[in-house]
């Protein structure tokens, strides 16, 4: 039935059809716009650190800060007032060790931050990053055995961390480690601990990307030896990304994520077409910092680059965008 319409279009080309007609004015462009952004679809990543009154700007990510809990509370009050969908917390612990014990400590930095936010900014959605790299002395995402991250030991740490975040009051836990079986391990432990209602947002297709560079300064989580290629994905592999997503969904993920976002728009689109779950995409630190750096050099218009990049990510199929631009974008959207 679509065929007849298509034929009509084919036999009556220009001058009948002029696509510029609908581009002639902002009111027309606004009327036919296919992709619209809303602050409610953004999640702002935040870095919480020990101390009081700490608001330390991250050199490679201008406009982003390491925040002590009291400053985080102020930041989140603003985030909430802008109608932003939520925040995702990353922690910088007082000390690091080989066992990542700061990650699953009920009095750890993220757990304290969650409790403070629950009290001071009720109604703000709090997601937490569940991983070990900010908490291990070597900066890898799990227990290191014979020079490599041991998958199954790491699962126990992740499950404990997720439960401790849920206990502190997290709305969503988001494992980012790329161990096999982590969603299953976390789901099992959450359910056994009475948190069967806590959803899991899985960083399912997380690539070993150079675009994470600035984040490692922010979270002080650069690996001290080697790299993360034995657990994060090879940027060349799109089919494998679909397999990762499928397995995470089978293990019980409620939502999945593609990370980074702009270099992987094809995979966001493929995931959207294949899986009927909310898809998140993480516009990572390098994507943010490239735009800000180019703008500071006068080479690009920051506001327009920000909105175009976010629009492209949503157009590709993301329902949720984790972005360091959440605040300025929300302000612009009014
Ligand atoms: Zn990690």
Q: Is 74 a known active-site residue?
A: no
Q: Which helix (H) or strand (E) holds 88?
A: strand 86-91
CA 189 and chain centroid, separation: 23
The single residue of 119, 188, 197, 259 carrying the catalytic annotation is: 259
pLDDT for 216 equals: 87
Distance 195 CA to ligand 1 centre (A): 23
Report DSSP state, residue 234.
Answer: P
Catalytic residue check, 119: no
CATH number (1.20.1260.10, 3.20.20.70, 3.40.50.300, 1.20.1300.10) of 36-333 reads: 3.20.20.70
The pLDDT value recorded for residue 8 is 59
The 10s digit of each residue's pLDDT in 131-186 is: 999 999 999 999 999 989 999 999 999 999 999 999 999 999 999 999 999 999 99
Measured in angstroms, how far is the CA atom of residue 170 from the centroid of ligand 1?
19
Please list the ranges in the chain whose pLDDT falls under 70: 1-11
Q: 176 C-alpha vs ligand 1 centroid, how far in Å?
A: 6
- Residues forming beta bridges with residue 321, ordered by sequence position: 42, 281
Ligand 1 center to 140 CA (angstroms)? 6
Distance CA 80, CA 125 (A): 9
Strands 320-323 and 255-259: unpaired
The catalytically annotated residue of 80, 145, 188, 206 is: 206
CA of 28 to the centre of ligand 1 (A): 46
Please report the pLDDT score of residue 221 as a whole number. 85
Question: Could you give the C-alpha distances from 39 to 44, 191, 284, 310, in angstroms and in order?
Answer: 10, 31, 18, 11
**DSSP codes of every residue in 192-211:** HTT-TT--BEEEEEEB--GG
CA–centroid distance, 255 to ligand 1, in Å, is 19
For the chain, domain boundaries: 36-333
Q: Is 181 left (phi over 0), alpha (psi -120 to 50) or beta?
A: left
Instruction: State which H helix or E strand residue 285 sits in.
Output: helix 285-296
Q: What's the rounded Cα separation, in Å, for the pair 239 and 110?
A: 34
What does the pLDDT read at residue 54?
98
Q: State residue 5's pLDDT score.
A: 62
């Amino acid at each position: 039935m679509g065929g007849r319409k298509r034929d009509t279009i084919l036999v009556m080309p220009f001058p009948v059809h002029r696509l510029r007609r609908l581009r002639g004015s902002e009111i027309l462009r606004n009327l036919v716009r296919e992709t619209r952004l809303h602050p409610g679809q953004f999640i702002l990543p935040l870095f919480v650190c020990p101390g009081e009154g700490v608001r330390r700007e991250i050199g490679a990510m201008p406009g982003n800060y390491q925040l002590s809990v009291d400053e985080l509370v102020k930041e989140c009050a603003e985030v909430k007032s802008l109608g932003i969908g939520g925040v995702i917390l990353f922690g910088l612990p007082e000390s690091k060790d080989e066992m990542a014990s700061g990650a699953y400590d009920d009095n750890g930095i993220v757990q304290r931050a969650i409790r403070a936010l629950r009290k001071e900014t009720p109604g703000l959605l709090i997601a937490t990053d569940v991983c070990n790299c900010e908490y291990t002395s070597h900066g890898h995402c799990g227990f290191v055995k014979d020079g490599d991250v041991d998958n199954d030991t790491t699962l126990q740490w992740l499950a404990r961390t997720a439960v401790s975040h849920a206990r502190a009051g997290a709305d969503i836990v988001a494992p980012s480690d790329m161990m096999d079986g982590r969603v299953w391990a976390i789901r099992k432990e959450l359910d056994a601990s009475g948190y069967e209602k806590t959803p899991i947002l899985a960083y399912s297709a997380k690539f070993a990307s150079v675009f994470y560079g600035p984040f490692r300064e922010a979270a002080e989580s650069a690996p001290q030896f080697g790299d993360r290629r034995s657990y994060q994905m090879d940027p060349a592999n799109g089919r494998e990304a679909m397999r990762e997503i499928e397995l995470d969904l089978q293990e019980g993920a409620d939502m999945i994520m593609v990370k980074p976002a702009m270099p992987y728009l094809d995979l966001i689109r493929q995931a959207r077409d294949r899986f009927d779950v909310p898809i998140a995409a993480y516009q990572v630190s390098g994507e943010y910092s490239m735009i800000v750096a180019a703008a500071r050099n006068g080479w690009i218009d920051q506001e327009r680059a920000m909105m175009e990049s976010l629009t492209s990510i949503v157009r590709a199929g993301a329902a949720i965008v984790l972005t360091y631009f959440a605040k300025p974008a929300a302000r612009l959207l009014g």
